[in-house]
Amino acid sequence: MTDLPPVPALALPAPVLVVEDEPLVRARLERLLHQLGYPADALLFAGSLAEARGRLADAPVALALVDLGLPDGNGIELIAELRAADPALGILVISAWSTEDAILAALRAGATGYLLKERDDLEVLISLRSVLRGGAPIDPFVARRIIAELRPAPAQPASPPPGETLSPREDQILRLVAEGLGNREIADQLHLSRYTVECHIKHIYRKLAVPSRTRAIHAARSRGLLD
């Protein structure tokens, strides 16, 4: 038995609408709301969307606990209606559904919080208190799902950089590098200064995204540049 005393400072907006079709869950929520300090006449119960809409037609509510799997439809529809009618209303989903679709749809429709039914009384009480304080309690399991949803998709497999083409001169130099010639020999053969050759080789490395001569040759071969 959970024994949290009512918190005197806690404002208890009323009435509270509890939309839940399972008698046991409904009785449990009723008990927990009493435990928070709610008198019986501050609680309204509905076992279906139609019943909830009937209740809301009579008078607006100040807090709503909404189940999703209802006999005549999905509680998400009701959440959207409640949210449209009152942008500041606390709407806590207490559902057995833990699929990403259900969770995200409920939150998008305007739910303030989402708790799984499997949580114990203490956790439900903490979530209720959080809603009453203006918080948005999210079940830790649900939070994990949401975080996973927000994470960037796994990186694409590394693809070779969009091959910058080598200039004809660079191509010529790379072929000589592949033949095993040193910079001085290449410079002599092409009638260029050694520094110019070094500069060309740097550009070749950058374009092929390689750090060394051997790698440059390998990269050039795998790109078909030396065929």
Number of residues in contact with Ca ion, rule: CB under 5 A? 3
Q: Residue 173 has which token pair?
A: 């130099």
Q: Cis bond leading into 15, ω under 30°? A: yes
Largest CA distance in the chain: 100
Q: Which residue is nearest to Ca ion (CB)?
A: 69
37 contributes a contact to Ca ion by CB under 5 A = no
User: Is residue 51 a contact point for Ca ion (CB under 5 A)?
Assistant: no
Residue 48 binds to Ca ion (criterion: CB under 5 A):
no
Alpha-helical (H) ranges within the chain are: 23-36, 49-58, 75-85, 100-109, 121-132, 140-150, 168-178, 183-190, 194-208, 213-222
Judged by beta carbon, residue 35 or residue 74, the one nearer Ca ion is: 74
| Chosen residue from 37, 69, 110, 135 binding Ca ion by CB under 5 A | 69
Q: How far apart are CA 109 and CA 40, in angstroms?
A: 29
Stretch that binds Ca ion, among 32-40, 59-67, 73-81, 101-109 (CB under 5 A): 59-67
Taking the complex as a whole, the smallest distance from the CB of residue 21 to Ca ion amounts, in Å, to: 5
| Apex 43 CA angle, 37 and 49, nearest 5 | 145
CB 96 to Ca ion: min, Å: 7
Q: Is 139 in the site for Ca ion (CB under 5 A)?
A: no
Structure tokens, 53: 């809409």
75 binds Ca ion (CB under 5 A): no
**Residue 65 binds to Ca ion (criterion: CB under 5 A):** no
Binding site for Ca ion (CB under 5 A): 21, 67, 69
